[in-house]
Structure 1
């Protein structure tokens, strides 16, 4: 029985999303499938993907270039929030999902579709991110997930597709599952499913092995305006160019690799390999600039906000009212986060070696131990007496 007549399908050109096209039409009675491939700066030529969708039976094949939107409206917000899921992963893949969900919903409205679809399985995080994001943007739109329900193995899916003229992979497919965009790459599956297996160099693309990195350090100066990165080494750059150039610069020095066991939304653990060279360094630099320009209570309180913000992104709740409320707090804190951070790149390490801001609240004549010291040392005694008074009273009561 058909669940919808016209469907917009998130399309990658892979086996699952290609098979989804004839499956939706022949098994679920869909009359028209429109595919949508999102260009988020992954560096792939999307014209062949667009043409493949038409060969697989799509009535229309859309390609949306949303790279700049991806950086400005998603990545930069995450940088301002210093988001690191489980204190390690800067959410390069997770951040793409709410944007793709929005593109699907917009296309469904434009073309009069009554449903959208994706090729996610039932074990991953992306099904949650797509489904929840779509229902937040348009709760009346149906969401179809054929690969979550068809019960076919990869081999069976290939055989099913061949019946409808979908060519099977010419060469043996990679054992890895890879997702890529401008912000980074995520790699899983195959031999990586054994937590004791060291990732082979073949899984990496954006970062060099330490043995192949330069033998001399390189310095980069990153400029921020109100929390947003705007320049590299004094050159003002657009959002996409800045991320792209910094990826190359940082990756050349072997910086940006993450190998972690993470907790998926659906309750299972997975072993993930990430490459996020620019994003990791930008968060590191941004957090350091905040330490120079924000008061102690704001930076300390903001850490809890950042953890919650990262969880919301990872768990598919980008369009939740809580994230929007947290944005208001974060945006206000960024008003003074303007300045420059100097970073030394060398052999897999990005070390902050300098920082400067016109909004700095670091006061040299109070911090110095030299002759210019303006701090009133005598005032410390009274401060300590008052500060420690509750502890002193408590100690007397328990030791009396």
Structure 2
């Protein structure tokens, strides 16, 4: 036990030193998130600013083209860093790595994000004179921005749209009227009070349409009252004053969406009693992203097969095939088992279950045939089996790919045996 504990401590110290050195040598890179880009819109007849973050793994050479799902977030100047931070925390174990596209909406926000034109809202007419441009702005996203991003960046067809407040209103309008544009939607404390709750009108009838099949919406609600007052949602929705207008409208949407049994939309929502309209975005983004990909996490059946010493290599292979077939189906493109996962499992089983070890290294080579790593690991497997002939064979392949002195020296040493 002492030796195990010592090894663990040493491992932690080594990793800490490594990451500290990495931080020291890449200080500038650590502070840089995303790049600024722009696109001229013929639909809007104006230039639009965007921010784009591509996962670091895109820079790593691999056998398969590195392509990623895309998250589009409205009010990009405000929320771009938040979604990048959430993905940094959750990917790639809980959600897939994704490209982030932040869309600027600081100017003409009411125009771009409201789905209908109104003469007056909340006692004033001046600020809503240009309202109702939401459909036009959606056209810009669908017909100009998405094609531009797909052409310039390594994207897949799987897309998510996120918006807060008026932007959340546009998200709900998009999922109701243009569900084909995105697979997932996150509406953060959306302004569903707009135009006398126009989006709640005939909502149950709309949701019965089968075009929402395979689409997911996560919606959040914040507490509109001061923190030292009422928090109970059931009490708040009975309040008829102006202060709870937004909450009541959003609650009406959640009630209808939840109770429409014929709906094919995968809908979930959460009320944050301790968050207000301004503080709710970050936690909503985290919870929303977490909830939208339940099928991505390793389920207990998959893990149990790996842990079960009685499960043979064929059972393990079947579990892997089922998992990655499921991921590929949901995301719409082929997903391969992670290289490090296969490699680590191969070494883990090398001493006590050689058949499983051989399986994982075989899968590693099949998934990443142009990488030297799998062939080098397979040579170690054959060394453990005292099969020097095959060990040499696989090191030769690894050396041919990498040209590294490590493989050259390893090959030389093996030939001396």
When you count strand as a share of all residues, which structure comes out higher?
Answer: 1
TM-score category by the smaller chain? under 0.3
When you count helix as a share of all residues, which structure comes out higher?
Answer: 2
TM-score by length of 1: 0.26
Q: Which has the higher contact order (CA 8 A, sep 6+)?
A: 1
